[in-house]
Structure 1
Amino acid sequence: VFYYRTVNGLQPPIKVMTQGRFPVKKWIHLSVQVHHSKISFSINGLEEDGIPFDSRILSDPISDSVENSSIVLGQNTNGLEQFIGRMQDFRLYKITLTNREIMEVFSNEFPNLHHQSECRCPGSHPRIHPDAPRFCIHNGVEESTKDRVLRLNPNAHSIFNLNDKDLETTWISSLLSTPDIDTGIAIILDLLNGPYQVSH
């Protein structure tokens, strides 16, 4: 159960059913990811398809400007609904972690991508698009959504585009000087790690 306040006061709680996901006498990693009016819950990292366990829409963005406000864990604001168990290693981040960053916190390994894995999604669009990993999308939306942002520079035409299974991407080599063009060039392709399409 997640209680939160907005500028309009205390809101109805977000209730997430986790039956069977919290076994007795076993540590569980729980992540709550909030960006504006979007909230997602992840249990032990991400699900198999790279999404959180559950995603919801808040009535309004959470308000943190209330004087003398506090964060309460393991019970509601009235001290009821007490959590039975142990909690440790609580962390509060100033920015919204993306899905891959949540997975990194859970497993100590940052999930690798074929194309420029070090480039990360923004907190507003924390999920890697499953079919076009150069894009990032919201959690809890269909993959066909038009609301997506580029993870990579739009002017980047990396060699990784050669076999990224995305027909909309291209690799552009560096420009050749006139003498190099006159003498011709040789292109050698290693086709062991995937199909390539070449045009010249």
Structure 2
Amino acid sequence: MSTPPPPQQPGGDPFGQQPYGQQPYGEQPHGYGQQPPGYGQQPPGYGQQPYGYGQQPPYGQPNGDDRTIAVVAHLSPLIAMVVSAGWLSFLGPLVVWLVWRDRGPLIRNAAASAFNFNVTVWVVSILAWISVITVILIPVAVVVLIGIFIAQLVLSIKGAIAASRGEIYRYPWQVPILN
């Protein structure tokens, strides 16, 4: 007559010589020497470049490059005013709008607002110079020219400060040409 085999302990050796839950000598726990699932894989987003050209930073905040370009859009009329005696003040914001308008709402708005405001200043400036020609309206023309110079200076600086903080600035008294 044959004897039945001894009962097996779960996780132990069939002869009951290993403590409960330990593997017999020479056997390794399941998966020993194998990497756990997902080991060696990089987490999502690891190794990707941080947001930069053509990408928006998280949570809709403009990055430093976008703010710099927006500041340039606001200050370019002042630079053009010095270089061209004010006649090409709308050209800088127009170039910024044409080149970088699709980069983000901050740049698009800064360039469009600066362009629209400076076209308005340009038209008023032309009207003031026409008034100078009439001789009778010279005092009015001088007041208007000084007023638009001060307004352009102050509002462009306010726009540049707002853009450096990542805020959208809308100029008052602008003819809406670009959006």
TM-score (norm 2): 0.22
Higher relative contact order, structure no. (Cα contacts within 8 Å, ≥ 6 residues apart): 2
More helix, by proportion: 2
Give the TM-score, by structure 1 length: 0.20
Structure (1 or 2) with the greater strand fraction: 1
Larger Rg, first or second structure (1 or 2): 2
